[in-house]
């Protein structure tokens, strides 16, 4: 496309991005880049000046969008140097193997401790607190019993791999039950010792299994690298979460309802919301120990809210007759019902997802009928 056409489109174009054609082309051309990345393509209009600048500089344009634009494909066919990537496909491409890899690591650690000795309690503080107490001798006896249990279980498992008899299978199950009893008894002793010393020790050691595996079985240099990666990932996720919540609160609540507020006040309010949501995250972290492990806590919190959100999305996609007011009221009522259902344990917490999704749709339909009846009357 020539410069004259850019000017004509900027002057006469009806699209919201047409008037920026010359600016986009000039900025991209002045950068003298070889590779240009465009995030958000829509119908592909803004790709034209970027592509022309990339071609003039001897480079390429890489475009990424959530959906395949309807008017973009002919432009792709005309200029094969442009590459379109479906963002949802890219996310799925990375997320599925990543989730598999995470689960695979957990399975491998579990298998590792089936054939290698493991501590009776994976939390190192638990063992420290029990020494020099009246429970020390019993705890040592439990450790010795666990070692004997592991040796016997290893022999039986090796025999079972050869013969696969039902008798050996039953014996493995009995040894596993005995092992679980020893571990549970050790947790009770740790809890009593911590209470005796007036210390707060987490006797539930499920969240310490992977950390123990890293510290005891990986090379020293790799330990530091892996722990740094874990901490970096946690910090990155936390900062993104807090910033997203603060921005959403400021833009979708404050600015939408109070349009006269200037940008300086919006920035100040966003900082306050960052502090507020940070304190909320700290508060949740303080009660995280109430669950059996962190994964279960995440699943519980997700199950309380995800079903409601899924129902709202399904209504938006497939039920156009339902209006926003009815859905909003229905979502609030549904959320209250879900919290009550979880608190009184009406069902396993994972079923709250399905329950919430169905409830918000049904209640929204009922609210819509009620509101329509009031309007007609």
Residues forming beta bridges with residue 61, ordered by sequence position: 36
Give percent of the chain with pLDDT exceeding 90: 0
Q: Which fold has domain 3-90?
A: Rossmann fold (3.40.50)
The residue-averaged pLDDT of 208-214 equals 81
Question: pLDDT at position 72, please?
Answer: 44
Mean pLDDT of all residues belonging to the chain = 77
Residue 30 has pLDDT above 50, yes or no: yes
Report the alpha-carbon distance of residue 197 to residue 191 in Å, rounded. Answer: 10
Closest by CA position to 180, among listed 202, 206, 198 = 206
CB of 266 within 8 A of CB of 255?
Answer: yes
∠ CA 201-204-206, nearest 5°, is: 130
132 Cα distance to chain centroid:
42
Question: pLDDT at position 70, please?
Answer: 45
The listed range with the strongest mean pLDDT (40-44, 135-139, 297-301) is: 135-139
Question: pLDDT at position 87, please?
Answer: 47
- Which helix (H) or strand (E) segment holds residue 43: the answer is none
SS3 262: coil
CA atoms within 13 A on the CB side of 181: 8
Closest by CA position to 79, among listed 59, 94, 101, 106 = 59
CB of 52 within 8 A of CB of 25?
Answer: yes
Report the alpha-carbon distance of residue 371 to residue 365 in Å, rounded. Answer: 10
Beta strand 60-65 pairing with 35-39 = parallel
Residue 184 has pLDDT above 80, yes or no: yes
Q: Per-domain residue ranges for the chain?
A: 3-90, 116-216, 220-287, 291-377
Q: What's the pLDDT tens digit per position in 268-290? A: 888 888 899 889 888 877 766 55
Quote the pTM value.
Answer: 0.51
Closest by CA position to 211, among listed 346, 89, 289, 121 = 121
- Annotate 179-204 with b (16+ C-beta within 10 A) or e (fewer): beebbebbbebbbbbbeeeeeebbbb
**Beta strands per DSSP E along the chain:** 35-39, 60-65, 83-86
SS3 287: coil
- Longest CA–CA span in the chain (Å) reads 90
SS3 35: strand
């Amino acid at each position: 496309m020539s410069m004259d056409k850019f000017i004509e489109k900027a002057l006469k174009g009806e699209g919201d991005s047409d008037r920026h054609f010359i600016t986009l082309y000039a900025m991209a051309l002045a950068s003298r880049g070889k590779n240009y990345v465009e995030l958000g393509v829509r119908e592909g209009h803004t790709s034209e000046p970027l592509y022309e600048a990339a071609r003039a500089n001897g480079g390429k344009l890489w475009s990424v969008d959530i959906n395949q634009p309807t008017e973009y494909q002919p432009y792709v066919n005309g200029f094969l140097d442009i590459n379109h990537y479906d963002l949802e496909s890219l996310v799925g491409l990375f997320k599925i193997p990543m989730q598999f890899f995470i689960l695979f690591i957990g399975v491998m650690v579990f298998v590792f401790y089936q054939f290698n000795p493991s501590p009776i309690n994976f939390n190192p503080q638990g063992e420290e607190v029990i020494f020099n107490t009246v429970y020390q001798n019993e705890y040592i006896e439990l450790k010795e019993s666990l070692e004997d249990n592991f040796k016997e279980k290893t022999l039986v498992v090796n025999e079972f791999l050869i013969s696969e008899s039902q008798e050996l299978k039953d014996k493995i199950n009995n040894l596993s039950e005995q092992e679980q009893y020893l571990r549970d008894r050790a947790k009770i002793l740790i809890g009593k010792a911590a209470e005796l010393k007036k210390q707060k020790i987490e006797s539930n050691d499920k969240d310490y299994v992977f950390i123990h595996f890293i510290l005891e079985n990986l090379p020293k240099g790799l330990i530091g690298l892996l722990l740094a990666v874990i901490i970096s990932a946690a910090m990155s996720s936390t900062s993104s979460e807090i910033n997203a919540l603060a921005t959403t609160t400021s833009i979708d609540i404050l600015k939408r309802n109070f349009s006269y507020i200037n940008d300086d006040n919006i920035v100040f309010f966003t900082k306050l919301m960052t502090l507020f949501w940070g304190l909320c995250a700290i508060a949740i972290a303080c009660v995280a120990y109430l669950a059996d492990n962190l994964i279960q806590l995440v699943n519980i919190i997700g199950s309380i809210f995800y079903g409601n959100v899924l129902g709202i999305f399904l209504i938006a996609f497939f039920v156009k007759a339902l209006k926003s007011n009815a859905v909003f009221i229905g979502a609030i009522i549904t959320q209250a019902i879900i919290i009550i259902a979880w608190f009184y344990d009406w069902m396993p917490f994972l079923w709250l997802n399905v329950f919430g999704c169905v409830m918000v749709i049904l209640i929204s339909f009922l609210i819509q009928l009620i509101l329509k009846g009031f309007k007609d009357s």
